[in-house]
Structures are given as C-alpha cells and as structure tokens.
Amino acid sequence: MTTDLEARIRERIQREGPLTFAAFMEMALYEPGLGYYTSGADRVGPQGDFYTSPAAHPAFAALLGLQVEQLWRLLGAPGAFPVLEVGAGKGLLRDDLHAFLEAFAPACARALRYSALDAGTPGAAWPASAFAGAIISNELFDSLPFHRLVREGDQLREVYVTLLGEGLAEVRAEPSEPALARYLEAEGITLEEGQETEVCLKAGPLLERLAGLLERGLIITVDYGELAPARHSRRRRHGTALCYYRHGTNEDFLRRLGRQDITAHVDFTALVGAGEAAGLENLGFPSQAELLRNLGWEAFAALLPRRGLPATQVQANLFGLRELVKPEGMGRFRALIQGRGLAAGELDGLRYDPQRVARLVALGERLPIPLLREAHTPLLAGRYPHTEVDWSDQLGRWLEEGTSPPPGQASGP
C-alpha cells in the first residue's frame, strides 16, 4: 500500500526527476505532518526506535545543568538567563535540567529562560536577537539531511533516489552541486576507489546561525561523529548512514518511509570551521564520558546507592547512569564546546577537578540526584541491543580511582 508520504515522494520524482539523497531524506524525516519527525509520533524512548542520553538517564540533564549553572555564575548571575536548546524533541532534557536546577540552585533556576525548539514542533519562535547564555543540542546534527557520495574510478558520484517500476531505487550520477566536491577538498579528503561517504551541507550554516545568536557564552553540541580525517577515513569505506527502526539498525533507506530514522555521523570539522568563521573560540572537544566525568558523574554514581532506595531501583538507575559514559556506547560521543568571551580553563566541563567532585560527594543527600521516571527508557529491563556490551572495566576503574584524572583530558579540536 502506498502511503501519503510515498505518494508525495513519487510525485516529486515524476515532476523533477531523481532526488538527491538529501532531498529524499528531507521529505522522509521532515515533510510537514508526514515525516518521521513531523508526524507527532514518539521517536525517542521505549515506544520509539532509539534512545538518546536524555532518555537513558536524567543525570545527563543534571550534569549539563551543573555546567549551565556555572556559566550563569561566570556571566555574573543575571536575573534572566537564556538557554536555547535546538532539536529538543519532546523536551525531556529541558524538563530534567529545570527540575535539577530547581532543587540544586533555585536562584539559577528562577533566572533560566529555557527555549526548546524542534523541527517537529512548528511555530516555536527562534530568539529575535542575540543573547548572553547557552545554546545546547543533543543528537541534532546527525539528523540533518545529507548527500551520499561515492568515488568511481577518478569520478566523484552522488546517490539519487528515483522510480524504478513500482518502487523506489538508488542510482548514481554526477554530483548535484559543486559545493559537494569543494567540501571534501576543503577538508583535505580524497575518497579511495569505491569508498562512500556522506556530506551534510546544512550543518555548517545551522551552526553559524546559532553562533549569530550568541553574544557571549557557550554552544554545547553533543553528538556521535568525528573530525574529518576519521569521519571520512578508509576504515569507513561504506560510510556511516544508517536507519533506526524499533531499536535496531538497517540500511534499507528506501523502506518504511516516515517510519524509521535516517542518520549519519557528524563531521565535527565542519562545525568547528563554521564556528571559527562566526568568531567563536573552540574551547574543547571531550568525549561525552570525559565531559560528564568532569562535571561530576562519579559523585552521582557514588551517592546513588546510599539513598536507601530499593535494590532494583538502584540497579536500574546505575545501569542508566553507566550507559551515559560507556566507552563502547554513548560515552564515546563527542561534545564540541565553542564559546564567546570565555576561557576554556574556567569551565568545569573541560577539566577534571577531584576536589570539586569530592565537594559534590560531600553534599550527600543535598545533591538532588534525579531518578528514572516513566518518560525515560528502562534500559536494564528492556534488553535493548546496544546495551549488551561489557562496560565494567573502565567504569570500575573510574570508581575505584575516585580522584585520579580521566584517561585523556579534554582537548581542543
């Protein structure tokens, strides 16, 4: 049966000819009312197709909240403190960050003016003018439409989506725009024969738009991806594009239109370049594990079992907490920290300070560690495929070490 979305894609191909993969993906994910992210369905969490850090455990929001609170103090504790989250989904990160700060730092929570924007919630207004504050995103850039490129002989070719009989099919032809070859050239990337990769031409301009809104403060971009040499390396011969459907992955890009996610690793070099062009400073590029550990992850892990909670609740929460820093999973995601008018050395998220962690531990009951609620993904109970990895070694070491520095301090990109 042809769905409305498929009918629209077919009509457009009949009208305009083959679509670039980026144009196809734009429709599959964002066609108003019909796309994967615009049809109103729950995409993240147990009922959806994948989970993200805010869904894995609310400590992610709380730890980012600690960075937001420090930034608020660095900016002179203003009475109104704007935080813009882009790609906020249903607002879980906003809700948990707010709740944590209300309990931990009420004055900061009162000052917080948090706007959560998402392409799936039309009508929400972008700030009208630049502000001093923070701009946050989690897994935003991996969901922007991308072009798929492949090298055939000495030619760069692009993947298009066309009609073949009754169905959709991929074909390769000349790149749709010179900007694609220029992008790879600017990053010093030469694909080898048969190598595929993805290029997102929307990521840089979006980052520049965000930079234009930041008068002073931080842009914190958390996502999976790498800097260009690793992102487009020969090790990734087949590229990184993937679909997520019911907590599993596949490469059937032309199936389940509007019902499965399509995503690819972020090319952080493009975001760094866009930030520099907009006058931002690159303050750090830690892994998610390093960022969260710098912010106090260990204090949360150490105090959680001392809360007098039932053992099953402790286990479920520790499991979610560990998921955030697991080296083979979300711990390996990256956090690009760009700023204006701030120094890297002063940011809690970019240096491990054992005394700060010890002070958080000393708070005991007064550290309002958030617990899993129905809105989060029950990873321990759920047996989601990505959680079946042994995380014990590194995390065990961290907890035993207590106050020693993390393996590989945060470093600038």
Residues that bind ligand SAM (CB under 6 A): 37, 44, 52, 54-55, 86-89, 117-120, 138-140, 143-144, 206
Give me the half-sphere count of Cα atoms (radius 13 Å) on the Cβ side of residue 138. 21
Least distance (Å) between residue 139 CB and ligand SAM? 4
Nearer to ligand SAM, 43 or 322 (CB): 43
Q: Which residues contact 236 (CB under 8 A, 6 or more apart)?
A: 197
Q: Token digits for 123?
A: 């009508």
Residue 40 amino acid letter: G
Q: Token digits for 21?
A: 């993969």
Nearer to ligand SAM, 89 or 275 (CB): 89
Q: Which residues contact 61 (CB under 8 A, 6 or more apart)?
A: 54, 92, 93, 94, 95, 96, 97, 100, 370
Least distance (Å) between residue 219 CB and ligand SAM? 14
Q: How far is CA 162 from the centre of its chain?
A: 31
Nearer to ligand SAM, 117 or 344 (CB): 117
Nearer to ligand SAM, 88 or 101 (CB): 88
CB-CB neighbours of 128 under 10 Å: 7
Residue 413 contacts residue 268 (beta carbons within 8 Å)? yes
Least distance (Å) between residue 23 CB and ligand SAM? 15
Nearer to ligand SAM, 117 or 242 (CB): 117
Nearer to ligand SAM, 31 or 139 (CB): 139
Least distance (Å) between residue 97 CB and ligand SAM? 12
Q: Token digits for 235?
A: 């090790």
Q: Which residues contact 392 (CB under 8 A, 6 or more apart)?
A: none
Radius of gyration (Cα) for the chain, nearest Å? 22
Query: What is the spatial distance between Cα 340 and Cα 338, in angstroms, rounded to a whole number?
Result: 7
Query: What is the spatial distance between Cα 169 and Cα 161, in angstroms, rounded to a whole number?
Result: 6
CB-CB neighbours of 101 under 10 Å: 25
Least distance (Å) between residue 52 CB and ligand SAM? 3
Cα dihedral across residues 201, 203, 204, 208: positive or negative: positive
Nearer to ligand SAM, 97 or 357 (CB): 97
Nearer to ligand SAM, 52 or 269 (CB): 52
Least distance (Å) between residue 373 CB and ligand SAM? 15
Name the residue with the smallest CB distance to ligand SAM: 87
Least distance (Å) between residue 112 CB and ligand SAM? 18
DSSP string, 268-328: HHHHHHHHHHTT-EEEE--BHHHHHHHHTHHHHHHHGGGG---HHHHHHHHHHHHHTT-TT
Least distance (Å) between residue 5 CB and ligand SAM? 15
